[in-house]
Structure 1
Amino acid sequence: MRDLGLAPPSVKPLTGGLADSLFETAAADPTRPLIARRPDPASTAWEEVTAVELCDQVTDLAKGMIACGISPGHRVAIMARTRYEWTVLSYALWAVGAEVVPIYPTSSRDQVEYILRDAECVAVVVEDEQAIMTVGSVCGSLPKLRHVWQLDAGGLRQLVEQGEFVPFTTVESLRRIVLPDSTAALMYTSGTTGRPLGCALSHQGIAHPCDTLLAGWGHTVVPPGERQGSVLAFLPFSHVYGLLVQGLCIRGGMVMGHEPDLSEAALATALRTFRPTYFCAVPSIFEKIYKNFLRAARQAGRGALFERAADTARDFAAALERQRLGGGAGPGFDLRLQHALYERTVYRKLRASLGGRVCRATSGGSPLNRELSLFFEGIGIYVNDGYGLTETSGGVTAQPPGQEMSGTVGKALPGTDIRVADDGEILVRGPSVFQGYVNDDAATRAALYGGWLATGDLGRLDSDGYLTITGRKKDVIITSSGKSVSPALLEQRLRQHPLVHQAVVVGDNQPCIGALITLDPDFLAFWRESLAVRSDTRMREAREENALREEIARAVAAANSAVSRAESIRVFRVLPDPFDVARGLLTPSMKLRRDAIVQHYAAQIEAMYQARSRGPRDGLPDEQAHWDDTDNVFG
């Protein structure tokens, strides 16, 4: 193993629970804005909620919980999108020592029943009538479930009314007995394979990465000349990344806005009107933003200009990176001149589409492509690509300020140790590591060994401590010739092409690597229009299909350039529909369910491999004997 012990903790250990920071802020700085919310979903105006106002609402709701019999150690599920009430609810539950059990609102009936039963929830808060029906259909099998409250039917108002007779001192007494190692949340893994596991996260575990990031990186949230940073929270709070964003905002005194609608139009409007100073997202969001920039430029007849500007941005950022890492003098005169020109004509307009105030961003959930990272840095928005997982309360690494390296996920946070085992698996130890899987001691023992968490992720550490994620241990593909291939890099490279929306690399027990590809519907529509094929319908469709086949083949060739020939994609199929949550092909956090995808598309995969299979040619290795560069299948 390689062992890399880093600096000791740089933040004070927690002495109480997560709710304490809100009450402390309300007492020390009562008029400080902590939340910005819209009077109704259609409004573009945001109204501030101060620390004391938020604290009062949390207290009133906590009193209602107490009146309904919610006490320390009780588990209450929240099944709702990212909205203001989620924040009030979670802090009210933490104030009385209860444990939050987040459930994705898109979860199926079976998933909801499993989590509520496994966690032994005594209550659940749902968002709308559909969720009420889902929970209602499983209540009969959940004898411990006593309360169901609906947000859109005034459930919180009813709770507040029930708690009017409960004195404030009762809330204070309960809040003050919450210990740092008390369980704060039971986060269920997405379940990319098998059933989900409930990760028990302590108050200390959730607070540590928040406080560490705030201590070392909090200044990056506030643009020069401004007093307070702001973050638009749209990632699901049901995912540990979203919960980390909420904790950072409340503990760091940043203004947080909630956007429950993840549609492209709603998010664009929220960004323009809320105008955050910091942007937290996942790689697919950054990929989509870039593709939208490119598509808009091409539609306006400025595609070539944008691509030159993008190349300049990447070159400029790469030169800056070499300079800060001690490997170069920085951008030369000509490059600085070109960059300054594009700043006036292109870059500031791109930043304006994100509200115009974003100074930096964070990407998490999966590794961000280096070229994409350089692009955003080059237009003036550095994207801090970090690493974490549910079992670590979200935070493991971050880019060291002033020493950022794109293409890596940075270095271990202070107080956290990282090892890379001989087989490439990343091991983590630190205060944020979870307490264990609820009701599954065997899984806990398998994950935790001698204080180290086996993450299941593969990676490598360089001599300076920068970590690069190379894939998931369980995702490694082994071809029939025994070649081991990690699909992450190929899939990431495929998605760089504007037309590619999703990609899944396959090839277990097959003679070569293949890929299933879905197309970006918006870019595909624009691409078809730009072809301008003038002929009868039948001839036009044939020409479009041939052109599309060639375009995707170029995307595959570009992806293959990053790997050896034996690891390259030799066959592919374009699917008519994207992978989605409804068919069980994606997790609620939008991660690929590989086993489900391979099973669902088994016939297409088999046809893909059989379509161009030929007899072996003398003198060629097995894989090359059966496949050559023209073996592509367009579904």
Structure 2
Amino acid sequence: MKQEFTQPLTTPIDSDRNVFSILEERVQRAPDDPLIQYQGEGGHWRTFSARQFEDLVIGLAKGLIARGVMPGDAVAIIAHTSWQWTALDLAIMSIGALTVPVYETNSPAQVKMIFNDSRVAMAFAEDDAQRDKVEMVRQDCAQLSDVYVMQQGAIDTITAFGSQVGDEEFYERERAVKGDDLATIVYTSGSTGTPKGIELSHGNFVFITYSGVQSMPDIALKPNRRLLLFLPLAHVFARYMQFFSFAGNVTLGLSSSFKTILADFAAFKPTFILGVPRVFEKIYNAASQKAGTGLKGRVFSQAVQVARAWSMAQQSGHGIPVILAVRHAFYRRFVYSTIMGIFGGSVEYAVSGGAPLDASIAHFFNGVGLPLLEGYGMTEMCAPCCVNPTEGYRIGTIGIPLQGVSVGVDDTGELCIKSRAICMGYHNHPEITAQQIHEGWLHTGDLGSVDEDGFVTLTGRKKDLIITAGGKNVSPAEVESSVMTSPVVGQCVLVGDRKPFIAAIISLDLAETNAWLRSEGAAQVPDLEQAARNPIVRAEVERAVNKANELVSRAESVRKFEIVPEEFTEANGMLTPSRKAKRQVITEHYRNLIDSVIYAPRKPRTMRR
């Protein structure tokens, strides 16, 4: 490695344990702790103590044993974030079976692919709509047997099946599960567009869980820590935070809807927040729109400028100028306190991951009193490998390695990671495993640098992946190639890196467009500019986009597109000699169109008098 930095462990971690032991250790340490809270009927928050939740997990595990689930069997969960998801996940893994998470937004075709690749034998669906997806492809999934619906009493049903299974039988199965055993297969988009299953062991999770606790004691170990988790548990980052919470002194609040997040903040009062950049962008935009355009809007705009200036001065290490400090103190009392109140009034830190965080958003929140500690990770490493410390954090970096984790930069500038959390491999793809993991180093596909203090800065990406502001990794090839099957489309290039949704820049083939118009009995067009404005042509492009969207989940689908009156050619630098679109060149060429038209910020509504 050209550069290398390792953060040593302060306390050894025994990773030859299973994931259930994390919950078991919390119960032994603090059985009456409020472990999980959730919103029940009527909007009231309900609580499981550590002991109660362990009993629930064991009851479910016994039911799975009674239903014939054996070590190595794959059990899928397709549902929103909930206590049921968490309980089933732990129960499945506690007896040596494998949890296979499925996003509730996945299409039936994606469900079929995942079920067959991991040989899913049993599935838990949240509701009838999710069950219908499974039933649509059941005849093509040879291994699948039982399908249970959470909203139709699945938890009670499985627990009832387990009533005749004794504690000793459960613990015999649980004790047989070791750190090297496979715990889960998590599917993530690969460079070809086909989801790849990442094999994660019990030891992978155990190691990185306790590494995280040791690395972030202010967040995990102080008394009465509270985390409100609203990200989907199918995402390994959110799933990791469950175990992090159990290993610390954290009460985990579970919320299934981002629509109610502000009300949930007010009711739950978290001490720290986990989110993707899009969450913080939405909160900032909501505050801005609420301020409006009048006097209140001007005050908010000035407060934003002061917050960012204060943050930049703080980060510079040269001290805060007196006048800036006075202005900041004024806005802290009259503006920033209101913004902090949005989070419930108790929040101290926020951890942002899953996608790159825009520096202006980070400086804003840091300036109002909420440090956004940006981190970094991948499914292949059980989510996190780096995070900014609570003291001495540096905006613009992804922080320092967690304890026991090594970061390196190879001769090509690629960021590489080594730790006991690196995955076992890519399910059914030994060739990809050999390509991505060399001598224990996972090659991330990202370009970066490491300074002498261990702070890592990302500088680019090798992979042709789009990472939205919501943290969704989108491989564009499948949608692009589908859209280009239209007779009028020359090229289709997806954009959306660090943006709230996926969009497309589409060029036309003039000759083919006119040929298609003739076949439709419509008038031809003299040039690409008129072709781009032609309503018949636009309708055909929209049809092609809609068809392509059927192949992927909503988060991967194209929400907006723009037809440009220009060909992409090798001569203008937008195509390679093999006719592949150069995404970066095209994105920069149409930067103004992308920023000011496709992703134009919404103007706040003004009240008519």
State the distance in 2 between where 1:130 and 1:365 align: 27
State the distance in 2 between where 1:121 and 1:105 align: 16
Residue number in structure 2 paired with 1:25: 26
Residue number in structure 1 paired with 2:347: 358
State the distance in 2 between where 1:230 and 1:272 align: 13
Alignment match of 1:396 (pick from 385, 403, 407): 385
Alpha-carbon contact 2:22-2:243 (below 8 Å) kept: no
- Flag the 1:582–1:381 CA change in 2: closer, same or farther, 3 A: farther
Residue number in structure 2 paired with 1:311: 305
Aligned partner of residue 100 in structure 1, secondary structure: strand
Residue number in structure 2 paired with 1:6: 6
TM alignment of 1:175-574, pairs within 5 A: 175-191=174-190, 193-220=192-219, 227-263=223-259, 266-298=260-292, 301-323=295-317, 328=318, 330-475=319-464, 492=498, 501-502=500-501
- Flag the 1:38–1:176 CA change in 2: closer, same or farther, 3 A: same
Aligned partner of residue 426 in structure 1, secondary structure: strand
Residue number in structure 1 paired with 2:480: none
Aligned partner of residue 475 in structure 1, secondary structure: coil
Alpha-carbon contact 1:581-1:587 (below 8 Å) kept: no
Where structure 2 has 5 or more consecutive residues not aligned to the other structure, the ranges are 467-492, 508-540, 573-584, 599-609
State the distance in 2 between where 1:580 and 1:395 align: 35
Residue number in structure 1 paired with 2:526: none
Opposite residue 583 of structure 1, the aligned amino acid is N
State the distance in 2 between where 1:233 and 1:175 align: 27
1:489 is displaced (CA, Å) by 12
- Flag the 1:634–1:417 CA change in 2: closer, same or farther, 3 A: closer
- Flag the 1:476–1:144 CA change in 2: closer, same or farther, 3 A: closer
Alpha-carbon contact 1:424-1:460 (below 8 Å) kept: yes
Opposite residue 201 of structure 1, the aligned amino acid is L
State the distance in 2 between where 1:353 and 1:248 align: 25
Residue number in structure 2 paired with 1:131: 130
State the distance in 2 between where 1:115 and 1:628 align: 36
State the distance in 1 between where 2:591 and 2:354 align: 33
Alpha-carbon contact 1:210-1:244 (below 8 Å) kept: yes
State the distance in 2 between where 1:308 and 1:298 align: 13
Alpha-carbon contact 1:58-1:91 (below 8 Å) kept: yes
Alpha-carbon contact 2:7-2:404 (below 8 Å) kept: yes
1:122 is displaced (CA, Å) by 1.2
Residue number in structure 2 paired with 1:57: 56
TM-score by length of 1: 0.76
- Flag the 1:503–1:300 CA change in 2: closer, same or farther, 3 A: farther
Opposite residue 346 of structure 1, the aligned amino acid is V
Residue number in structure 2 paired with 1:86: 85
1:322 is displaced (CA, Å) by 2.5
CA RMSD of aligned residues (A): 3.3
- The one-character-per-residue Cα deviations of 1:370-420 (angstroms, maximum 9, x if unpaired) are 221111111111111000001111011111342211011012222212222
- Flag the 1:70–1:503 CA change in 2: closer, same or farther, 3 A: closer
Where structure 1 has 5 or more consecutive residues not aligned to the other structure, the ranges are 478-486, 496-500, 509-574, 615-622
- The one-character-per-residue Cα deviations of 1:436-490 (angstroms, maximum 9, x if unpaired) are 011111111111122211111222223433212233213399xxxxxxxxx9999
Alignment match of 1:583 (pick from 544, 549, 568): 549
Residue number in structure 2 paired with 1:567: none
- The one-character-per-residue Cα deviations of 1:530-582 (angstroms, maximum 9, x if unpaired) are xxxxxxxxxxxxxxxxxxxxxxxxxxxxxxxxxxxxxxxxxxxxx999x9999
Opposite residue 91 of structure 2, the aligned amino acid is A
Opposite residue 238 of structure 1, the aligned amino acid is A
1:333 is displaced (CA, Å) by 2.3
1:71 is displaced (CA, Å) by 2.0
Alpha-carbon contact 1:192-1:587 (below 8 Å) kept: no
Opposite residue 128 of structure 1, the aligned amino acid is D
Alpha-carbon contact 1:16-1:177 (below 8 Å) kept: no
Alpha-carbon contact 2:495-2:505 (below 8 Å) kept: no
Alpha-carbon contact 2:25-2:247 (below 8 Å) kept: no
- Flag the 1:586–1:629 CA change in 2: closer, same or farther, 3 A: closer
State the distance in 2 between where 1:489 and 1:331 align: 39
